[in-house]
Amino acid sequence: MPSRRFALALVWAVAVPAVALDAQGTASAGVLARSDSGRVAATARQAPAGDSSTYATEALRALIAEAVQLNRRVPSLLGGYKARLESEISIGNRRSEGMEMAVSLEQVASTLTWDRSGVYQQTIDGYRSQAIGSNFASIGFFSSGWAIPSLYGNRIALLFGRDTSEAARRRQRRRGGDPLYAVHPLADDRERYYRFSGGDTIVTMRVGDRTIPIVRVDVSLREDVAAKSVVFLGEIDLDAVRRQIVRLRGYFAVVGGPKKKFDLLREAGLQGIAFVEAENVEVDGQFWLPSRQRFEAHATSNTVGDGRAVFRILTRFVHRELTPLPPGLVVGGPEDSLAIHPFRLAIAHPDTLSAYKAWRSELGAMSAEVSAEDFNDVAPDRWSTNGPPRFSVETERLGDVFRVNRVEGLFTGIGSVVRFRDAVPGLVLRGAAGYAWNEGVTRGRGVVEYRRERDLFAFRAQRSLDLTNDFRNPYDSGSTTGALLGNDNYDYLDRRSVTVQWARFLGAKRRTQLRLETGWVEDRAVEVNLARSPFGFGEDFLPNRPIREGQYQRSAMTLEYRPDVSLEFLRTGFGARAYYERGDGGMPYQRGELRFTARSNRGPFSLGARLDLGMTTNGAPPQQLFELGRNQNLPGYEYKEFAGDQAAVFRALLLRRLPVLGAPIQLSRRLWLPPVAPALALGVQSGWTRATDAEALATTTLLGSAPTGHPRTSVSFSLRFFGGALGVGVAKPVDHNGPAKFLLEFGQRP
């Protein structure tokens, strides 16, 4: 799993520079200032005459032309509005298999005022957050507001826009150069940049006694864009009667212009894209104004394949009041223009931010309903499933390129992927190989995948170093950082396998997965080849625990609901997993697991809980027994002190945020630390193992462990800070009379 810092670095180093345009900080969609209007008009006059390749049909050409005329200026009856907004800002990772996790959540309440002259201000009134690790408060990243107050005009200015205060304008003049704007698909000069297709009615809405047909137009790029430009590519939904925009959905791209001789990001295989979805609602039966907005910056590199770091902003307009025309403004007059006005994003006093109570939704509720997969249908070519075959040098996870553990020592590798796309829809070939330098062993895999609609078929042949640890979090595939720091808290085996798999994604939002797998497997023992951390940290590594070697046929079934809900991360909701595995032939056994996970926020309270149950049959090999202890869900005990053929683990953490110090801390205009946000926390950890017969007890003893005898339970009390990311407190066993221990906790895992 890419680390949290890796996710954040990818987002800000790749995706944000791609869209952090030096654009006007006014209404995030608006025409250029009057001083630039001549240049726009000149550009429009240079536009080529409409041709059949620009519009799919003559009817579509007429529809777009009418929409352009109406989009050029704000409707005459609309003076402006004042709205209350609620936004959720999250940072996380999307794994290559589709699961998504969040490591930072921020909820922001703000007030937006806007009028038809272009005057625009967004003021932050309330703030609260939750985090797994250290972070900066993201509100410091914004010079201007992130909400799009309207979709009228010739250009779209994106978030992270230029500070338009007078001081900032003087700095810009000294640097020289024109700011960049995304060309609006309904701009006067649209034909220089875009091609249009579609125009079909996709849905018919009924509002009162009025029927509103909605028409969808697809916007793509011309091949002959010469000058460097920022464009929008995707789809526009139009009110077919009033010809106004109902929804804008797609992504932004920089196209044209001279190519850089050396592009560091491209050479490193880093890629970023900015998606946007802006939904409008009809107001007073006259015009369409913002209702919901979503911005996402996705960033990835060839070392993580289909995995992505995701920065997301979700905004709801929860209340709106229309305002009259600005004083002295005449509709159609010279002042009736969406001009640039100096402003900065305004932030209320820290006491105001901390005291805000009028939240309409719970923290995390907005992010729980969306996924990075939602934009797959409008993704650019390199991420699309459509188009000609595509070859790339990439791997499924970062650990395929570089990892360190006490068995392999240093491992380095490389991978490649062939996506056949339109040639054979759904077919993908993957390969990866690498060398463990201390162990002197080559490992790798070859995979054939075929996906159709909700079904995924796969054939996989591989040699891997697998973990024998139990009840891990869904994203835990080992820890290079831990090994480098002297803590390799895993045991390993060398596994060779040839398997076939079928998976089906169920439900309207495909949040449930059913997987069946069968194939030939051989397990072999491994030894420790790296005695201690390469940097000399910590003590010598422990020997690897014994396993039973042999060949067998392995079959498995997994039914999983909401795998993205994890106790260790911040996505809210309920998740469950049922798992059954069996070995036949040379190593017969059966093994079953159940997992239930819940995470919820209610006002000042946050609750995370997870229950794991496991059972194996008599005579199961050592690698199939369940092991618990320090770093295996029972802090305070020795490493894998307990084991058995039956096990249960329960963990829970309850936080109560205190109503003080809830505002982020400003260090500079752009640098804000997260709020101290103290919270009281109660944690519970309880584990139990049992050896059901003499053979299971002998195997447990072979591992160097023992059954728990009775549930081993401890409770912890701590004071947590920075959204729950850091805690100090004490823990005490309750199953026996033991001493209390001091705790220093990181993250939100109880």
CA distance 514 to 507: 11
Domain check: are 376 and 423 in the same one? no
Query: What is the four-CA torsion angle of 535, 540, 541, 547, rounded to 10 degrees?
Result: 150
Per the listing, tokens 């007429």 go with 62
Question: How many domains is the chain built from?
Answer: 3
Domain check: are 230 and 286 in the same one? yes
Position 661, amino acid? L
The pLDDT of residue 584: 96
pLDDT band at 634 (very low <50, low <70, confident <90, very high): confident
pLDDT band at 610 (very low <50, low <70, confident <90, very high): very high
* SS3 state at 331: coil
**Which of 501, 523, 544 finishes a domain?**
544
Domain check: are 412 and 514 in the same one? yes
Q: For residue range 701-727, what is the model confidence (pLDDT) as tens digits?
A: 999 999 999 999 999 999 999 999 899
**Which of 381, 410, 433 finishes a domain?**
381
Domain check: are 187 and 291 in the same one? yes
Domain that holds residue 64: 4-381
Position 91, amino acid? I
Domain check: are 654 and 720 in the same one? yes
User: Which is higher by pLDDT, 477 or 717?
Assistant: 717
Lowest mean pLDDT among 35-39, 364-368, 555-559, 601-605: 35-39
Domain check: are 635 and 501 in the same one? no
Cα–Cα distance list, 441 to 311, 319, 465 (Å): 38, 63, 10
Domain check: are 29 and 171 in the same one? yes
Which CATH number do you get for residue 623?
Answer: 2.40.160.50
pLDDT value at 698 more than 90:
yes
Query: What is the four-CA torsion angle of 85, 86, 91, 94, rounded to 10 degrees?
Result: -100
> Which two three-digit tokens encode residue 458?
């796969």
The pLDDT of residue 575: 95
pLDDT winner (highest mean) among 20-34, 134-148, 156-170, 263-277: 134-148
pLDDT value at 679 more than 60:
yes
Check residue 305 and report its DSSP letter: T
Domain check: are 317 and 442 in the same one? no
Q: What size, in residues, is the chain?
A: 750
User: Which is higher by pLDDT, 79 or 285?
Assistant: 79
CA distance 211 to 492: 64
Q: List all residues 6 or more positions away from 41 whose beta carbon is below 8 Å from its beta carbon.
A: 188
The pLDDT of residue 638: 87
Closest CA to 520 of 591, 442, 583, 449: 583
Position 422, amino acid? D
pLDDT value at 257 more than 80:
no
Average pLDDT over residues 631-656: 90
Q: For residue range 43-101, what is the model confidence (pLDDT) as tens digits?
A: 333 334 445 679 999 999 999 999 998 887 788 889 999 999 999 999 988 876 667 88
The pLDDT of residue 343: 63
Domain check: are 375 and 405 in the same one? no
**Which of 544, 560, 591 finishes a domain?**
544
Q: For residue range 175-188, what is the model confidence (pLDDT) as tens digits?
A: 444 445 688 899 88
Q: For residue range 138-174, what is the model confidence (pLDDT) as tens digits?
A: 888 887 788 888 888 777 765 544 443 444 445 444 4
> Which two three-digit tokens encode residue 335?
């002042």
Q: List all residues 6 or more positions away from 20 whose beta carbon is below 8 Å from its beta carbon.
A: 158, 160
> Which two three-digit tokens encode residue 343?
């402003």
* β-strands 605-616, 402-405 pairing: unpaired
Q: Which residues, in sequence order, are bridge partners of residue 183? A: 155, 231
> Which two three-digit tokens encode residue 24?
């006007």
Position 476, amino acid? D
Q: List all residues 6 or more positions away from 295 whose beta carbon is below 8 Å from its beta carbon.
A: 146, 159, 274, 275, 276, 312, 313
Q: For residue range 516-535, what is the model confidence (pLDDT) as tens digits?
A: 999 999 999 999 999 999 99
Predicted TM-score (pTM) of this structure: 0.86
The pLDDT of residue 456: 95
Q: Which residues, in sequence order, are bridge partners of residue 444? A: 433, 463
Domain check: are 517 and 556 in the same one? no
User: Which is higher by pLDDT, 629 or 556?
Assistant: 556
Query: What is the four-CA torsion angle of 13, 16, 22, 27, rounded to 10 degrees?
Result: -160
C-alpha Rg value of the chain to the nearest Å: 29
Domain check: are 279 and 422 in the same one? no
pLDDT value at 682 more than 90:
yes
pLDDT band at 291 (very low <50, low <70, confident <90, very high): very high
* β-strands 120-131, 346-347 pairing: parallel
Q: What is the mean pLDDT of the chain?
A: 84
Contact 336, 84 (CB under 8 A): no
Find the distance separating the first CA and the last CA of the chain, reported in whole Å. 20
Domain check: are 559 and 538 in the same one? no
Cα–Cα distance list, 263 to 260, 302, 499, 747 (Å): 6, 15, 41, 36
Position 355, amino acid? A
pLDDT value at 29 more than 60:
no
**Ramachandran angles phi, psi of 603, nearest 5°:** 60, -125
pLDDT value at 620 more than 60:
yes
pLDDT value at 661 more than 70:
yes
pLDDT winner (highest mean) among 33-42, 218-227, 440-449, 634-643: 440-449
**Ramachandran angles phi, psi of 616, nearest 5°:** -125, 165
The pLDDT of residue 157: 62
Average pLDDT over residues 623-638: 86
Per the listing, tokens 């777009």 go with 64
